[in-house]
Amino acid sequence: MEKTAMHCRVVITAASILGVLAGAFPTADVSAQQPLAAASDPAVLRVGTAGDYPPFTYRDPATGEYIGADLEQAGNLAAMLHRRLVVVPTTWGSLLADLSAGRFDIAMGGISITPDRASQGTFSRSYLRDGKTPLARCADQARYTTLARIDRPDVRVIENPGGTNERFAKAHLAHASLRVHADNLSVFDEILSGRADVMLTDAIEARLQQQLRPGLCAVHPDRPFDRSEKAYLMPRDSALRADVDRWLLASLASGRGQALLDRWLHYPWPTSPAPAVALARLVDARLSLMPDVARYKWNRKQAIEDLPRERALIDSVRAQAAERGLSPDRVAAFFSAQIEASKVVQRELFARWESEGQGGFDGVRDLATDIRPRLDALNPQMLEALKAVEGPVPREALGTLPASAISPAAVDVALAPLLRR
């Protein structure tokens, strides 16, 4: 057992990655990060990022600061363009919707080139080649060397939502048990704890996680199941495209990218968030889906409030609370706050769209088949997280949530049950 684990605990270097990250220009000041800025402001570069994919992008929950290889590159790009960097939070599930809505000028943070993304935006030249590979407990790695061995009814696969990992798993696994875990930063702990068996993810992430979490091993990361490329995503016909490509070309030729990537690969990334922070991230994941809910209801002129569904949710979580040894009243109060917070987001958006004379939205996700299953998947995770949270929790311990860019008022409503008893 120890021999196997030691064999897999390799040191990551840039030479072990399938491509080369773009080199760095002198680091720009990224301290003035804000959620939104006007699209027409030529002095600002708005960079969209998920903040949950080390070594490319990571949001510190305590300070709200964004760091990582691509965030450093964002600062470098902003400096080259003589613009001020503003970081715009997004999620993997809402990336294309936010792109189409014009929320940012460029998206950065380990984004893979895919046909659907390319059809709705334009990519820079690629800066990294990668591919999907299994990540499993070291003791079990020999069981998951092929897709055929993974695609079995007794194998529990876990993926983060909305990105290429989930899409790859759904496209290639017909028999395995697939679970989507809302938090991209704690999904790996589900494997370590034995609640899941394997994750299919990018080789660079698998290598990083085996370094951060002894006991996890990247399975043949040098021979991934497919090949993909990472690049920066911009709106179609973006005026930035030519400048970004020239900058990337010079950056690749400089050779400084290897040192940049090595530095961020060896950064002391946190592995296990505090229980209250983990729960706050689930709250954030739920609120981040509310603009999609609002767009769906806006297009169909549906009411924001759905009292029968709200009552059914509260009844359901009350029953599940008892099964988990939780106070049904505490759980009901927590989920009631999440419902009210979701309505705060929707009402604010409806009011804004009405004042702007907004028409129908294109490419809206279906509420029944796409959005609600994602919301429902969060409920048991929230219940489990609540078991570990003893309160009240100081507000500063929860940090700044990306959903604050959507609605600070909604975040306050959603977090209120954690701040008092």
pLDDT in tens, 237-281: 899 999 999 999 898 888 777 778 889 999 988 876 677 888 888
Crossing angle for the helix pair 241-254 and 69-81, to the nearest 10 degrees = 120
Token pair recorded at residue 70:
């691509």
pLDDT of 363 reads 85
What's residue 286's pLDDT?
A: 92
CA distance 189 to 112: 24
Given a contact cutoff of 8 angstroms between Cβ atoms, the answer to whether 287 and 95 are in contact is no
Fold annotation for 275-419: Chorismate Mutase Domain, subunit A (1.20.59)
The tokens 């939205």 sit on which residue? Answer: 361
In 3D space, the residue among 59, 70, 78 whose CA is nearest the CA of residue 21 turns out to be 70
Q: Residue type at 16? A: S
132-218 has the same fold as 14-129+228-265: yes
How far is the C-alpha of 193 from the C-alpha of 301, rounded, in Å?
45
Fold for 14-129+228-265, please state it: D-Maltodextrin-Binding Protein; domain 2 (3.40.190)
> What pLDDT, on the 0 to 100 scale, is given for residue 35?
40
Please say whether the beta carbons of 67 and 28 come within 8 A.
Answer: no
Q: Which residue has the tokens 């996680």?
A: 209
Alpha-carbon separation of residue 395 from 58, 81, 153, 335, 417 (angstroms): 21, 37, 43, 18, 11
Residue 397, token pair as written in the block: 């311990």
Helix (H) or strand (E) holding 85: strand 84-89
pLDDT per residue as tens, the chain (421 positions): 333 333 333 334 433 333 433 333 333 334 333 444 445 578 999 999 999 899 999 988 767 889 999 999 999 999 999 999 999 999 888 899 899 989 999 999 999 999 999 999 999 999 999 999 999 999 999 999 999 999 999 999 999 888 899 999 999 999 999 998 877 778 898 898 888 999 999 999 999 999 999 899 999 999 999 999 999 999 998 999 999 999 998 988 887 777 788 899 999 888 766 778 888 888 988 998 999 999 999 999 999 999 999 999 999 999 999 888 999 999 999 999 999 999 999 999 999 999 999 999 998 989 999 899 889 988 988 998 898 887 788 887 777 777 888 899 999 999 999 886 5
**349 contacts: CB under 8 Å, gap ≥ 6:** 290, 291, 294, 298
Domain ranges for the chain:
14-129+228-265, 132-218, 275-419
Extended strands (E) in 38-80: 44-49, 52-53, 57-59, 66-67
Q: How far apart are the first and last CA of the chain?
A: 46
- CATH number attached to the domain at 132-218: 3.40.190.10
Alpha-carbon span 262 to 54, nearest angstrom = 12
Tell which residue, 209, 202, 151, has the closest CA to residue 178: 151
